[in-house]
Structure 1
Amino acid sequence: MAVKDKLKAVLNVGLRVPSIMLLDVLYRWDVSSFFQQIQKSPLNNNPLFQYKYLALNMHYVGYILSVVLLTLPRQQLVQLYLYVLTALLLFAGHQISRDYVRNELESEYDGPIYLEPLTMNRFTTALIGQLVVCTLCSCVMRTKQIWLFSAHLLPLVARLCLVPLETIVFVNRFAMIFTGLEVLYFLASNLLVPFNLAKTAYRELAQVVEVYGLLALGMSLWNQLVVPVLFMVFWLVLFALQIYSYFSTRDQPTSRERLLFFFLTSIAECCSTPYSLLGLVFTVSFVALGVLTLCKFYLQGYRAFMNDNTMNRGMTEGITLLILAVQTGLIELQVIHRAFLLSIILFIVVASILQSMLEIADPIVLALGASRDKSLWKHFRAVSLCLFLLVFPTYMAYMICQFFHMDFWLLIIISSSILTSLQVLGTLLIYVLFMVEEFRKEPVENMDDVIYYVNGTYRLLEFLVALCVVVYGVSETIFGEWTVMGSTIIFIHSYYNVWLRAHLGWQNFLLRRDAVNKIKCLPMATDEQLEKHNDICAICYQDMKSAVITPCSHFFHAGCLKKWLYVQETCPLCHSQLKSQSQQATAAAPPQGAVQPPAQEVPQNQERAAQENPPPEEQGSRGTPLQEGSGSSSREPGEGQSGGSSSTVLKSPDTLGQAKLECQGSSLEGLTTVPGVQASRQEAYSSSPHCSAGSNDSESMNTHSSVGVLKEHQ
């Protein structure tokens, strides 16, 4: 972005801040109390203040003017501010002229000005001031007719011409009247400008709504007005004014406790209106965005901005603050109560920021542990951030218990902090397991099971913490004060943090148990079968010293196939369903009311099943393409039992499943030296609660996609 564009963006925000400040002042202004004060003052006799309804209408006119200033295009807004600046300069010239005339009347000297030093000094000062005002007005209005702004020079010219002092007073009044007439002429000549602007704006808005709709119009106005930045700047200005007004009246230094209390009180003072509350919401959002951006930069450096995650934009924290403030009626409370409630809300916001930081750090830490990156600086940054996320939530929960009386809302904050610490602890334990395996010469057996137990342990602890919160909330609702908001929070917390956790955990347990049962039901390959098969595991690409045989006659490592079955229930090569004994019995059982087949057909069915699925000891090794040829793939299932065997028949009594293995596994010939992958690391990385969204796409996984799931066998 060029410097000119940056300057335009700054002007677009800075010139609109006064309109929001005017809205905030109008909201704070109590019209009824204002008129009560007017009735008690001498201004009550003024005809202007006797028309109450006229003043009330002017109050609403102020709102309309503020909205107009807020929505004006940037060019017209700059032009309007230039006109206002010119009017202020003319008023300054009038003040300089009036002060000069008053000082001359007080001196009572009407002789030549060069004979009196004080008179000469006053004249010189007033002349320089008026010349500066005239020059600035000419520059602002972009005109060379400087005489239009030089009416206030007439008293100085009259004094220089030795005009009597009483006459100079009338000259000054004439100059003021002349300037006022100029202003009125300018306003009259531009009287239709607001009407033309409104007409043009209405026509453009109607066209946009007709073509794109209201939503597109709202998004366009949101982006053009830069609403988040605008409200953030407005709130920061209010907060800076509050800080300045406090320290400008303080002579003694403030202690740390009083400084913290003053900080909370100042924030509470700056969110007493809906406009200032929106400013605080957007300020918190930008602060959260800055913290999360620094977190990503600390972990990954400049690479973090190349793969920016749009989910971590800080809006979650701002929306949380807005919802809690609206539900608790924050702006309607007194300052002390508002500061107390705001401290609790800010604790919730900080807990949400810590959770977002964990969502950023968790996959990065697990990826460092799973990779072979030996950069100590990267590991130090990741571990140090995890230690901070482990200690700080615990310290925050301790401080909450020290300063506040325990209730349901505070228990939710404490439970959120404890859950964050538990998640970080689980991440660090898995990272340590990865590093231990990295420094070992041989891989750790059943590393995936160990990681599963670690994840299961801290998820069980998370479930227990969430259950305790629900029990406490229900007991407080029954025996204490019942509220709709509290009951709604309990219901939402029970569903998302208790029921869904329990349901997902139980489904995961059943899936792993079913995978273990399937592996136990599969027959183990003998040494002769492995020697005849003479192939590698199609999952990890390593030699097979022991293997299991699937019903479709494919050979795999038992551990590799078990990890595959954690993800999906199909064969990695032919994608046929692998069912356990209970599932096979359920599928084989005829439905109620179905007609049973005749008794004489049962042996034929069994014989046909035996031909298609022979026992493991009858399965031969898979031949090479030169040995088996194309005839084995085109042979009918019954040809293997015929008496006339030809050269196209397989040398070993392979079944139809072995023929499928020949067709689908021929691409694996010669891959005896392909390196494996680290299964337990990739499984833990994919099973992490923050990065497991893509592990359920079971239909798209094939032989090559299994590399990212299983453990490396050296």
Structure 2
Amino acid sequence: MAVKDKLEAVLNVGLRVPSIMLLEVLYRWDVSSFFQKIQRSSLNNNPLFQYKYLALYLHYVGYILSLVLLTLPRQHLVKLYLYVLTALLLFAGHQVSRDYVRSELESGYEGPLYLEPLSMNRFSTALIGQLVVCTLCSCVMQTKRIWLFSAHLLPLVARLCLVPLETIVFINRFAMIFTGLEVIYFLASNLLVPYNLAKTAYRELAQVVEVYGLLALGMSLWNQLVLPVLFMCFWLVLFALQIYTYFSTRDKPTSRERLLFLFLTSIAECCCTPYSLLGLVFTVSFVALGVLTLCKFYLQGYRAFMNDNTVHRGMTEGITLLILAVQTGLIELQVIHRAFLLSIILFIVVASILQSMLEIADPIVLALGASRDKSLWKHFRAVSLCLFLLVFPAYMAYMICQFFHMDFWLLIIISSSILTSLQVLGTLLIYILFMVEEFRKEPVENMDDVIYYVNGTYRLLEFLVALVVVAYGVSETVFGEWTVMGSTIIFIHSYYNVWLRAQLGWQSFLLRRDAVNKIKSLPTASDLQLEQYNDICAICYQDMKSAVITPCSHFFHAGCLKKWLYVQETCPLCHKQLKSQSNAATATPAQDILPANPNPAEGGQRERAGGAGEGDKTVSQDGVPVEVRHSGPSASLLADPVPDGQAGDRAQSPQCLEGHGDALQQGSGFQRLEGQGEALQHGSGFQCLEAHGEALQQGSGLQRLEAHGEALSQGSGFQRLQGQGEALQQGSGLQRLEAHGKALQQGSGLQCLEGQGEDLTQASGQSCLRRRQQSTPSSSPAPATSSMATSTAAEHQSGQSANRL
């Protein structure tokens, strides 16, 4: 902002302060008492004071003129002040001329001036004064016609010409009349200016209201008049005059207690009208804004003002003061009672400022503790401010208890300071925990739990303080005096500070408990799986020595995933809904990972022959046509291949696969398949599969599995198993598992995994993982037996779905 703009802004505020001062004087002026004093005095016979109602009308005209001065545009306001200044200069010139004529009459000397030193001195002084007045009037009115303002020089010229003293008196009166006629002529020539200004203002206001509305008009006037700064300047001037008046009438020094009383009484004297009360409100707002700005500057330096919006800061404290003053009828009380009430109101305002300081300091202090900033000065500033916010509210609460008797309202006021100290204590403890973790070589895994316990402790203390306030209020209402306002405050305090806090704390506890239960229901990754995964946690970007596996086969630290589950119940990577083990077992069918084919060459050939793709395809598997139906984007994710004789975990449950006698544990059941006589225990039932003609009875269904092309009929599903290249279609998906190149299509996606270099096709994209960058030979050996090549499947359809295995 340029210097000229700054000066114009200062003038815009400074030139309007007198209009508010005039409003203040008119409000304090009691017209009725004034006329009662006039009637008891000697001025009762004066005709000017006999028209009481005319004086009352002039009183209201003064209000109108004050409002006009307050709302005039700056250019017209400057012109008006220049005209007033010219009139004052002319009056000063008239006074100088009158005093000179009076002094000459008293001396009685009519001779030449140079013969009398005293007459010469009086003449020189009056001449210099008149010349200064004429020059200033010419400059203010911006005219070169200086003779218009030199009528008061006529008595001086007459005395220089040795005119008799009696004639000089008439010349002085003529000069005064001439000046008065000039003023009247000027006012008559500008008589229609107020009317034209009012007409123009009305037309502009009508246009603004028609186009933008009343709200836009109010905001425009608020910004143009700069009302907050204007009322603040007005109140500061009023307060300075009050302090000056007090010290100008006292000779003895004032003690410290007397200074506090003086401060409160001066504020009480300066808020006895609505205008001065608004000035105090805006002054408190700007003081709060300055304190909060200094607080942020103390913590962050000049970086605090970068991209920082401080427009609305401090308004909370000002509005609080205004509401309390209006509610308690502050301006209607006597000065002593007003000072007593202001002490309590200002205590509440200071407590609100301290709470706002804590809201600024809390995130900055915690961020500084979590960062690795080694600047001791930054840490000292943060800790010192927190210690101040810890001690000062408690000291304020102690002092106000010493001065006032404890009751329900005072307890509410004190509780805010106590809560501020508790919150600062919690912030300091969390900051200390962050600093302790920073000096450790390895991060603390349960640090989140410790922080949660610290937060929970001081939240519990806040809840207990609010509960004590409610209990005290209820007891005072029951055993003491009952009031509607007190009961309303108790109800509001009980709802917002007790019920809502208890509900929020309970919801937080339930969310944390659910997150812990979900973490416990997820399988833990083995050392082999972590070695094969060979990646970092996608949440904290740290190496994983232990991890849990989500249903979508993603690996995370248990603590990191638990923090994530506090916020939302989806996978951090794929955003798939995470459900507990029991919910997942009832919601979707279990995913099986069958044993790998011991013949990698045959698996590689079959995989190239029956690659995955979109749409419906027919592939050849050991001479047996298999129909593959691809239903859309995949919801399943990467599953690592499991070698022979080793166990692997996948999806929601661990699976154990062995060479020809594989054990599969999935969901809540256990499957065990042995060479040609497999035993399967799954869910709550038991399945027994015999060598060439196995019979299985489970639940309400019967399963029959044949030698190398077994047919299984169970419940509402159909399963078909072939020798060493099995195809499994179950639910809405298809699983195809081959020797060392297994193709898995399940749900709406397809996964293709190769023996030593696995390919994965999932959802709308394909990802290929090359473990050792080795390719599998494409030659496929002949089947072990002729029955495997010629086996056929018996199909059975029952219920709602068909499963092909």
2:700 corresponding residue in structure 1: none
1:633-666, CA deviations, whole angstroms, 9 ceiling, x for partnerless residues?
Answer: 7565899966656999573586738957864898
Contact 1:619–1:655, Cα closer than 8 Å, also in 2: no
What is the CA distance between 1:480 and its match in structure 2?
2.9
1:567-595, CA deviations, whole angstroms, 9 ceiling, x for partnerless residues?
Answer: 1111223322223367669x87xxxxxxx
2:240 corresponding residue in structure 1: 240
What is the CA distance between 1:373 and its match in structure 2?
1.1
Match of 1:614 among 592, 596, 599: 592
Q: 1:318-357 maps to which residues of 2 (within 5 A)?
A: 318-357=318-357
2:260 corresponding residue in structure 1: 260
Contact 2:267–2:339, Cα closer than 8 Å, also in 1: yes
CA separation of 1:236 and 1:15: change in aligned 2, threshold 3 A = same
CA separation of 1:503 and 1:193: change in aligned 2, threshold 3 A = same
CA separation of 1:451 and 1:123: change in aligned 2, threshold 3 A = same
Q: Which amino acid in structure 2 is aligned with residue 514 of structure 1?
A: D
Q: Which has the higher helix share?
A: 1
Q: 1:399-410 maps to which residues of 2 (within 5 A)?
A: 399-410=399-410
Q: 1:501-650 maps to which residues of 2 (within 5 A)?
A: 501-580=501-580, 610=589, 612-614=590-592, 631=611, 636=629, 644=725
1:13-37, CA deviations, whole angstroms, 9 ceiling, x for partnerless residues?
Answer: 0000000000011110111100101
1:605 corresponding residue in structure 2: none
Identify unmatched segments of 5+ residues in structure 2: 615-627, 631-717, 728-735, 752-759, 772-805
Contact 1:521–1:581, Cα closer than 8 Å, also in 2: yes
Contact 2:154–2:175, Cα closer than 8 Å, also in 1: yes
CA–CA separation in structure 2 for the residues paired with 1:655 and 1:525: 24
CA–CA separation in structure 2 for the residues paired with 1:543 and 1:113: 107
CA–CA separation in structure 2 for the residues paired with 1:639 and 1:368: 61
Q: 1:110-149 maps to which residues of 2 (within 5 A)?
A: 110-149=110-149
Q: Does 1:225 align with 2:228?
A: no
CA separation of 1:534 and 1:442: change in aligned 2, threshold 3 A = closer
Q: 1:400-549 maps to which residues of 2 (within 5 A)?
A: 400-549=400-549
Contact 1:514–1:580, Cα closer than 8 Å, also in 2: no
CA–CA separation in structure 1 for the residues paired with 2:17 and 2:23: 10
Secondary structure in 1 aligned to 2:191?
Answer: coil
What's the TM-score once normalised by structure 1's chain length? 0.85
CA–CA separation in structure 1 for the residues paired with 2:143 and 2:533: 97
Contact 1:619–1:654, Cα closer than 8 Å, also in 2: no
Contact 1:159–1:168, Cα closer than 8 Å, also in 2: yes
1:362 corresponding residue in structure 2: 362
2:87 corresponding residue in structure 1: 87
CA–CA separation in structure 1 for the residues paired with 2:396 and 2:596: 65
Q: Does 1:389 align with 2:389?
A: yes
Q: Which amino acid in structure 1 is aligned with residue 454 of structure 2?
A: V
Contact 1:640–1:653, Cα closer than 8 Å, also in 2: no
Match of 1:651 among 737, 741, 755: 741
Between stretches 474-483 and 235-244, larger displacement belongs to 474-483
Contact 1:524–1:547, Cα closer than 8 Å, also in 2: yes
Contact 1:19–1:66, Cα closer than 8 Å, also in 2: yes
What is the CA distance between 1:549 and its match in structure 2?
3.0
2:618 corresponding residue in structure 1: none
Contact 2:522–2:581, Cα closer than 8 Å, also in 1: no
1:669-708, CA deviations, whole angstroms, 9 ceiling, x for partnerless residues?
Answer: 799xxxxxxxxxxxxxxxxxxxxxxxxxxxxxxxxxxxxx
What is the CA distance between 1:69 and its match in structure 2?
0.1
What is the CA distance between 1:117 and its match in structure 2?
1.1
What is the CA distance between 1:9 and its match in structure 2?
0.5
Secondary structure in 1 aligned to 2:93?
Answer: helix
CA separation of 1:452 and 1:185: change in aligned 2, threshold 3 A = same
Q: Which has the higher strand share?
A: 2
CA separation of 1:636 and 1:6: change in aligned 2, threshold 3 A = same
What is the CA distance between 1:54 and its match in structure 2?
0.4
CA separation of 1:584 and 1:492: change in aligned 2, threshold 3 A = farther
Contact 1:17–1:233, Cα closer than 8 Å, also in 2: yes
Q: Does 1:167 align with 2:167?
A: yes
What is the CA distance between 1:200 and its match in structure 2?
0.5
1:688 corresponding residue in structure 2: none
Give the percent of matched residue pairs that are identical in Structure 1 and Structure 2.
Answer: 85
Secondary structure in 2 aligned to 1:236?
Answer: helix
Contact 1:631–1:648, Cα closer than 8 Å, also in 2: no
CA–CA separation in structure 2 for the residues paired with 1:106 and 1:518: 109
2:287 corresponding residue in structure 1: 287
CA–CA separation in structure 2 for the residues paired with 1:452 and 1:567: 14
CA separation of 1:639 and 1:90: change in aligned 2, threshold 3 A = farther
Contact 1:521–1:580, Cα closer than 8 Å, also in 2: yes
CA separation of 1:297 and 1:666: change in aligned 2, threshold 3 A = farther
1:209-233, CA deviations, whole angstroms, 9 ceiling, x for partnerless residues?
Answer: 1111111111110000000000000
Q: Does 1:59 align with 2:59?
A: yes
What is the CA distance between 1:493 and its match in structure 2?
2.1
What is the CA distance between 1:252 and its match in structure 2?
1.0
Contact 2:268–2:342, Cα closer than 8 Å, also in 1: yes
Q: Larger relative CO (CA 8 A, sep 6+): 1 or 2?
A: 1
2:109 corresponding residue in structure 1: 109
What is the CA distance between 1:315 and its match in structure 2?
0.5
CA–CA separation in structure 2 for the residues paired with 1:286 and 1:522: 56
Contact 1:13–1:229, Cα closer than 8 Å, also in 2: yes
CA–CA separation in structure 2 for the residues paired with 1:422 and 1:226: 39
Contact 1:614–1:655, Cα closer than 8 Å, also in 2: no
CA separation of 1:132 and 1:539: change in aligned 2, threshold 3 A = closer
CA–CA separation in structure 1 for the residues paired with 2:59 and 2:462: 55
What is the CA distance between 1:380 and its match in structure 2?
1.1
2:620 corresponding residue in structure 1: none
1:600 corresponding residue in structure 2: none
Q: Which amino acid in structure 2 is aligned with residue 270 of structure 1?
A: C
1:251-291, CA deviations, whole angstroms, 9 ceiling, x for partnerless residues?
Answer: 11100000110001000100000000000000000000000
Q: Which protein shows a greater Rg?
A: 2
CA–CA separation in structure 2 for the residues paired with 1:377 and 1:290: 23
CA–CA separation in structure 1 for the residues paired with 2:541 and 2:176: 96
CA–CA separation in structure 1 for the residues paired with 2:720 and 2:94: 116
CA–CA separation in structure 1 for the residues paired with 2:770 and 2:39: 102
What is the CA distance between 1:393 and its match in structure 2?
0.8
What is the CA distance between 1:312 and its match in structure 2?
5.6
CA–CA separation in structure 1 for the residues paired with 2:133 and 2:745: 104
CA–CA separation in structure 1 for the residues paired with 2:375 and 2:274: 50
Secondary structure in 2 aligned to 1:221?
Answer: helix
1:443-482, CA deviations, whole angstroms, 9 ceiling, x for partnerless residues?
Answer: 2230100000001000111111111112222222333333
CA–CA separation in structure 1 for the residues paired with 2:531 and 2:287: 65
CA–CA separation in structure 2 for the residues paired with 1:412 and 1:667: 63
Contact 2:737–2:744, Cα closer than 8 Å, also in 1: no
Identify unmatched segments of 5+ residues in structure 1: 589-608, 672-714
CA–CA separation in structure 2 for the residues paired with 1:138 and 1:648: 107
1:75 corresponding residue in structure 2: 75
Contact 2:761–2:767, Cα closer than 8 Å, also in 1: no
Contact 1:292–1:312, Cα closer than 8 Å, also in 2: no
Q: Which amino acid in structure 1 is aligned with residue 592 of structure 2?
A: P
Secondary structure in 1 aligned to 2:109?
Answer: coil
Secondary structure in 2 aligned to 1:139?
Answer: helix
